Chains A and B, each alone.
Chain A
Amino acid sequence: MSSSDRVSVVVTGLGAITPLGGDVASTWSAMLAGTSGVRRITEDWAESLPVKIAAPAAADPVPVIGRVQARRMDRCEQLALVAAREAWADAGSPAVDPYRLGVAVTSGIGGIGSTLAAYDALREKGWDRISPYTVPMLMPNGAAGWISIELGARAGAHAPVSACASGAEAIGYGIDMIRSGRADVVVAGGTEAAIMALNIGAFAVMRAMSTRNDEPSRASRPFDKGRDGFVLGEGAGIVVLESLPHALARGAQIYAVAAGAGYSSDAHHITHPAPGGAGGAYSISSALRDAGVSPEQVVHVNAHATSTPEGDPLEARAIESALGEAAAGVVVSATKSMTGHLLGGAGAVESVAAILALRDRTAPPTINLEDLDDEVTVDVATTARPLAPRPGQGPMAVLNNAFGFGGHNVTLAFTEYAPEGA
């Protein structure tokens, strides 16, 4: 099917709970202000680890969900449900046939806190003291299941998993559900709650994490020469995707067109990115092709840029090789400088940020970028920057990159919605 005769998909609702705020408005205003969500970890377990900083969610999901339901849910599921409720309300709680309403919400790791708690219970107290809710709490599709129950969504609830690309991949899956005619509305996004000793130890032993323990707010510094690894964050981002005819029929607010998704797999190394950023370049090119967007329409990229020495310059090269000369007019932002790395939630929270950048025509800053890596030649915003369409190039487009261990690369393209005849 060509891009001209398939149904357009639009974004009609946003939800988020992040290290910067308990909802979209507080997250976005903190992001534009260049606020760091990174904190010193106060739990005792951090004593024995080389990494003592993280970016916890700014709000507690438990009071929102209620104590009894919350005790049956992993924290990553709780965060996803809070963000889904916000997104659904933001979309105007659309009346939709349950068999036309889908869910695509995932996590990179799943309910790791519940897994660890259950293993402790098993060893210390015995099998019959494991919570009977352990299985639905540890499975990475748990959030999708809970959201489908909450909203009565019966068109299918899905959880594509691709490590740190998961949240973006879920949004891509949601776009496909609508294009293929399986659903009119899809609640899509990603979540993670993995600030635990095991995860920090496991990433730290890879030497992937920042150990700038004495300066938490300066630790996540994508594209900066002094970067020394990522900072683990937690939270969830959710978008409500809707077919354009469905959104128009109910007079819904439209944030943006979810114009397309591009994918690639490095087929190179299980954790190291392919040389030259080839995988990222291909996912960007694929997203543009899928969206029917030219490089000249692209004004902003919310980069995956996690603040690791190896990954950031390769992504900059990927942007340049995919966009060619048009890359010079693109404002790149690395919001992980503020939120830390939300793993499976990253692509979803950063899609929310990219969509708001499009709405407000403002790219958020990349904080802590004091000394740009010599290998990075893209234009990285260090302060909030205005965005404007290039003359004669059509509606503005923004991209969100999300790359994951395993060699998964996902790029999402969002464009400004221009009502017909406007």
Chain B
Amino acid sequence: MTDQEILAGLAEIIDEIAGVPADEVTPDKSFVDDLDIDSLSMVEIAVAAQDKFGVEIPDEQLKDLKTVQDVINFVSKNS
């Protein structure tokens, strides 16, 4: 899966769960500071990402996924 495909899939999830329009989900964005996503929604996003990309995201890794790029890197490394 290319980074672009991961980004598109992640943007779809974030739109569904947090209502952030896909074009605002860019690699440099921070979930908390830029996209206004709280810790509860982040849990939902992580679960949806695990299902969509077929990866395991352990809790200790989840807390380090602060930006969209962090998730892209994690998925491309682990899928």
- Which residues in A have some Cβ–Cβ distance to B below 8 Å? 66-69, 71-72, 128-129, 131-133
| A-contacting residues, B40-56, CB 8 Å | 40-41, 43-44, 47
Contact present for A68 and B47 (CB under 8 Å): no
A133 touches B47 (CB 8 A): no
CB-contact partner of A132 in B18, B19, B44, under 8 A: B44
Q: How many residues of B contact A (CB 8 A)?
A: 8
Q: Chain A residues with Cβ under 8 A from B47's Cβ?
A: 128-129
Residues of B within 8 A of A (CB): 17-19, 40-41, 43-44, 47
Main secondary structure of the interface of A (DSSP, over half): loop
Asked if residues B43 and A67 are in contact (CB atoms below 8 Å), the reply is no
**Which residues of B sit under 8 angstroms from A67, Cβ to Cβ?**
19
CA gap between A128 and B50 in the complex, in Å: 11
**A133 — which chain B residues lie within 8 A by C-beta?**
40, 44
- Chain A residues with CB below 8 A from B44, complex form: 131-133
On chain B, the residues within 8 Å of A71 by CB distance are: 17
A128 to B51, CA, bound (A): 12
Closest to B19 in A: A68
CB contacts (< 8 Å) of A129 on chain B: these are: 47
Note all chain A residues with C-beta closer than 8 A to B19.
Answer: 66-69
* Closest beta carbon of chain B to A105's beta carbon, Å: 22
Complex CA gap A271/B43 in Å reads 41
Tell me which residues across on chain A come within 8 A of B40, comparing CB atoms: 72, 132-133
Which has the most chain B C-beta neighbours within 10 Å: A66, A71, A129?
A71
CA distance A243 to B47 in the complex (A): 48
Known A72-B40, A132-B40, A132-B43; further 15 A-B contacts with Cβ < 8 A = A66-B19, A67-B19, A68-B17, A68-B18, A68-B19, A69-B19, A71-B17, A72-B41, A128-B47, A129-B47, A131-B44, A132-B41, A132-B44, A133-B40, A133-B44
Chain B positions within 8 Å of A68 at CB level: 17-19
Which are the 10 A-B pairs with shortest beta-carbon distances? A68-B19, A132-B40, A132-B43, A133-B40, A132-B44, A68-B18, A128-B47, A129-B47, A67-B19, A131-B44
Q: CA separation between A69 and B41, bound complex, in Å?
A: 11
List 18 contacting pairs A-B, 8 Å CB cutoff, sorted by A. Answer: A66-B19, A67-B19, A68-B17, A68-B18, A68-B19, A69-B19, A71-B17, A72-B40, A72-B41, A128-B47, A129-B47, A131-B44, A132-B40, A132-B41, A132-B43, A132-B44, A133-B40, A133-B44
Query: B11: shortest Cβ distance to chain A, in Å?
Result: 15
**What residues of chain B lie closer than 8 Å to A72, measured between beta carbons?**
40-41
Report the minimal beta-carbon distance from A325 to chain B, rounded to whole angstroms: 59
> For the complex, what is the distance from the CA of A128 to the CA of B48, rounded to whole Å?
11
Q: For B41, list chain A residues within 8 Å (CB).
A: 72, 132
Chain B hits for A69, CB < 8 A: 19
Rounded to whole angstroms, the CA-CA distance of A132 and B46 in the bound complex is 11
Q: What is the minimal beta-carbon distance from A139 to any residue of chain B, in angstroms?
A: 14
Residue of B nearest to A134 (CB): B40
Beta-carbon nearest neighbor of B42 in chain A? A132
CB distance from A135 to the nearest CB of B (A): 9
Min CB–CB distance B39 → chain A (angstroms)? 8
Residues of chain A within 8 A of B18, CB atoms compared: 68
Q: Once bound together, how far apart are the Cα atoms of A129 and B43, in whole Å?
A: 10
Residues of A within 8 A of B17 (CB): 68, 71
Q: Which residue of B lies closest to A71 (CB)?
A: B17
Q: How far is the CB of A155 from chain B (nearest CB, A)?
A: 25
Least Cβ–Cβ distance between B26 and chain A, in angstroms: 19
CB distance from B59 to the nearest CB of A (A): 10
